[in-house]
Amino acid sequence: MALSGLEIYKLLPKTNCKECGFPTCLAFAMKLAAKQAELSACPYVSEEARQALAAAAAPPIRLVTVGTDKHKVEVGNETVLFRHEKTFYHEPGIFLRVRDTQEPAAIEALVREAMGYAVERVGLTLGLNGVAIENVSGDAQTFARTVQQVRALTEKPFILMANDPAALKAALAVEGGKRPLLYAATSANWQAMAALAKEAGLPLAVRDGDLSALADLTEKIKAAGVEDLVLDPGTRDILESLHTLTTLRRLALKKNFRPLGYPIITFPGEGAEDPLEEAVIAAEHVAKYAGLIVLDHFSPALVYPLLTLRLNIYTDPQKPIQVSPGLYEIGSPGPESPLMITTNFSLTYFTVAGEIEGSGVPGWLLIADSEGMSVLTAWAAGKFDAEKIAKTVKQFDAASKISHRKLILPGYVSSLLGEVEDELQGWEILVGPREAVDLPNYLKNVWRP
């Protein structure tokens, strides 16, 4: 957390010698706080003050990277408790756990399905981030064999889970160098775990059910040279984990409490009775402060809403996801194909485009610049009116693409019909269905060029 001008002032020599170019140390401190000056301009600042300022400039929740290349997952470095205060930056990585006691064939089927899983939403491809592999057998060789097997199936990052550092070491030899997270250092094994993480240069999870003990552990491990840490505060229940994760986020952001300023890993399946309950707890963790979420079940019907929630919560409230205004071809439309208009809110565009595509009737879709608002919102805000619609038709020269002169409006703005007719002389304005789901039927059975 950044220091205030006064807090910085306390660290300066307070001699007002002016060599920094400012009349007083206080003036200099104020400029530093506003990031309009560099500390190096003061030749007399002590080493201690330099370190304190550097530490204060570091993010209150450390950014930790798991995985490499296009599959890497970056978590942490959040700056607010509520998304409306700014935004949440690094969406939690969602992993699926397998155990080295499962049948290899079962593991293969599950990993193939879960890691190959992809669902499209608002033009984005959503999926799971990686696999957590747990050494339940207690045997290092079995563990390594499972890790090797899974690596052959996916490039995505791993969370390697074992109590015995030797098992992790064996697994690392076959993991493939994709920057896995090591799980977990505890009060019983932390020295060996820290040594292993340090040697391999890997992030390390730290587990303790008691926050004081957890803070002690992270400090010791940091002193041993490992700084990329992830916290497991041990709580599994939906209520307890809400309390603990809220406390951890507040400690980091409001108290600038460094020993617990790391991303958090959760295991919602351990607090749940069935897969839906697991998904619900995971949903809570998406909203309230998890950095990595390890699932025990994979079902597309549950993963799809969960990934959608993650997308919603981590969308920047200041910028709705938008598409560029323009004339879009859906399918391969020709001069006889229907011309429709909608707004440039991503969700609106993709919903409508998806239905046109699904209808099998190729079409022209005009996107008006509604500043990223949905049809009704834009209409209510005056960003999608008759004038805007007419302007969009002309701006993108829709007439040059079609032989007819018909434009289909979204059903929800049927009230604009008369005005659009006035604005677009010589055009026939049609009112389409209200909901996009009904477009295929409309295009197939009602639309005629």
Partner 1 sequence: MPVEIPKENWTSQVLEVTLGATPAQGGTRGRTVTVGGESTLPFLHYEGKMPHRPVVAVEVLDRYPEDWSPLLLEAWGEAAHDPVAWAIQGIAAGADLVCLRLEGAHPDRDGRSPAEAAETVRAVLKGVEVPLIVLGPGQPEADNEVLVAVAEAASGERLALGLCEDKNYRTIVAAALAHQHLVIASSPIDVNLAKQLNILISDMGLPLERILIDPTTGALGYGLEYTYSVMERLRIAALTGDRLTQLPFFCTAGLESWRQKESKVGEGVPASWGDFRERAIAWEVMTATALLMAGADILVLRHPESIRRVVRIIDRLMGTKEA
Helix axes of 165-175 and 140-151: crossing angle, nearest 10 degrees: 30
The item of partner 1, ligand B12, ligand SF4, none sharing an interface with residue 408, based on CB under 5 to 8 Å by kind, is ligand B12
DSSP codes of every residue in 369-422: --TT--HHHHHHTTSSSHHHHHHHHHHTTGGGG-SS-EEEEPGGGGGGHHHHHH
Beta carbon nearer to partner 1, 305 or 334 = 305
Beta carbon nearer to ligand B12, 55 or 119 = 119
Q: Do 65 and 40 touch, CB atoms closer than 8 A?
A: no
What is the nearest approach in angstroms of ligand SF4 to the Cβ of residue 38? Answer: 11
Read off φ and ψ for residue 14, nearest 5 degrees: 60, 35
Q: How far, in Å, CA of 287 to CA of 83, rounded?
A: 9
What is the nearest approach in angstroms of partner 1 to the Cβ of residue 117? Answer: 6
What is the nearest approach in angstroms of partner 1 to the Cβ of residue 210? Answer: 9
Q: How far, in Å, CA of 234 to CA of 189, rounded?
A: 16
Which segments of 140-185 are extended strands (E)?
158-161, 181-185
Q: How far, in Å, CA of 403 to CA of 389, rounded?
A: 19
Q: Which of 2, 58, 174, 347 binds partner 1 (CB under 8 A)?
A: 347
The item of partner 1, ligand SF4, ligand B12, none sharing an interface with residue 68, based on CB under 5 to 8 Å by kind, is none
Q: Which residues bind ligand B12 (CB under 6 A)?
A: 320, 340, 342-343, 345, 347-348, 351-352, 372-377, 379-381, 408, 410-412, 432-433, 435-436, 439
- Range 357-396, binding partner 1 (CB under 8 A): 358, 374, 380
- Range 408-427, binding partner 1 (CB under 8 A): none
β-strands 119-121, 124-126 pairing: antiparallel
Beta carbon nearer to ligand B12, 33 or 313 = 313
Read off φ and ψ for residue 266, nearest 5 degrees: -130, 160
Q: Which residues bind ligand SF4 (CB under 6 A)?
A: 12-13, 15-20, 22, 25, 28, 42, 44
The item of partner 1, ligand B12, ligand SF4, none sharing an interface with residue 250, based on CB under 5 to 8 Å by kind, is partner 1
Should residue 257 be labelled a site residue for partner 1 when binding is judged by CB under 8 A?
A: yes
Q: Which of 6, 54, 119, 166 binds partner 1 (CB under 8 A)?
A: 119
The item of partner 1, ligand SF4, ligand B12, none sharing an interface with residue 20, based on CB under 5 to 8 Å by kind, is ligand SF4
The total of other beta-carbon atoms located within 10 Å of residue 106's CB is 11
Read off φ and ψ for residue 58, nearest 5 degrees: -70, 150
Should residue 118 be labelled a site residue for partner 1 when binding is judged by CB under 8 A?
A: yes
- Range 130-159, binding partner 1 (CB under 8 A): none
Q: How far, in Å, CA of 283 to CA of 286, rounded?
A: 5
What is the nearest approach in angstroms of ligand SF4 to the Cβ of residue 45? Answer: 6
Q: Do 284 and 241 touch, CB atoms closer than 8 A?
A: yes
Q: Which residues contact 396 (CB under 8 A, 6 or more apart)?
A: 325, 326, 327, 366
Among 93-101, 115-123, 386-394, 397-405, the segment contacting partner 1 (CB under 8 A): 115-123
Q: Do 56 and 2 touch, CB atoms closer than 8 A?
A: yes
Specify the amino acid at residue 399: A
Q: Which two tokens stand for residue 130?
A: 């990686």
Q: How far, in Å, CA of 42 to CA of 22, rounded?
A: 10
What is the nearest approach in angstroms of ligand B12 to the Cβ of residue 379? Answer: 6
Q: Which of 48, 70, 301, 400 binds partner 1 (CB under 8 A)?
A: 301
What is the nearest approach in angstroms of partner 1 to the Cβ of residue 238? Answer: 5
The total of other beta-carbon atoms located within 10 Å of residue 111's CB is 22
Q: How far, in Å, CA of 53 to CA of 47, rounded?
A: 10
Q: Which of 8, 94, 133, 215 binds partner 1 (CB under 8 A)?
A: 215
The item of partner 1, ligand B12, ligand SF4, none sharing an interface with residue 18, based on CB under 5 to 8 Å by kind, is ligand SF4
The item of partner 1, ligand B12, ligand SF4, none sharing an interface with residue 261, based on CB under 5 to 8 Å by kind, is none
What is the nearest approach in angstroms of ligand SF4 to the Cβ of residue 4? Answer: 16
Q: How far, in Å, CA of 134 to CA of 413, rounded?
A: 55
Q: Do 153 and 111 touch, CB atoms closer than 8 A?
A: yes
Should residue 12 be labelled a site residue for partner 1 when binding is judged by CB under 8 A?
A: no
Q: How far, in Å, CA of 354 to CA of 360, rounded?
A: 10
Should residue 24 be labelled a site residue for partner 1 when binding is judged by CB under 8 A?
A: no
What is the nearest approach in angstroms of ligand B12 to the Cβ of residue 275? Answer: 28
The total of other beta-carbon atoms located within 10 Å of residue 366's CB is 20
3-class SS of residue 95: strand
Q: Which of 21, 437, 441, 444 binds partner 1 (CB under 8 A)?
A: 437
Contacts with partner 1, residue ranges (CB under 8 A): 82-84, 117-121, 211-212, 215-216, 219, 237-239, 242-243, 246-247, 250-251, 254-255, 257, 259-260, 271, 273, 276-277, 279-280, 283-284, 287-288, 299-306, 308-309, 311-313, 315, 317, 347, 351, 358, 374, 380, 437
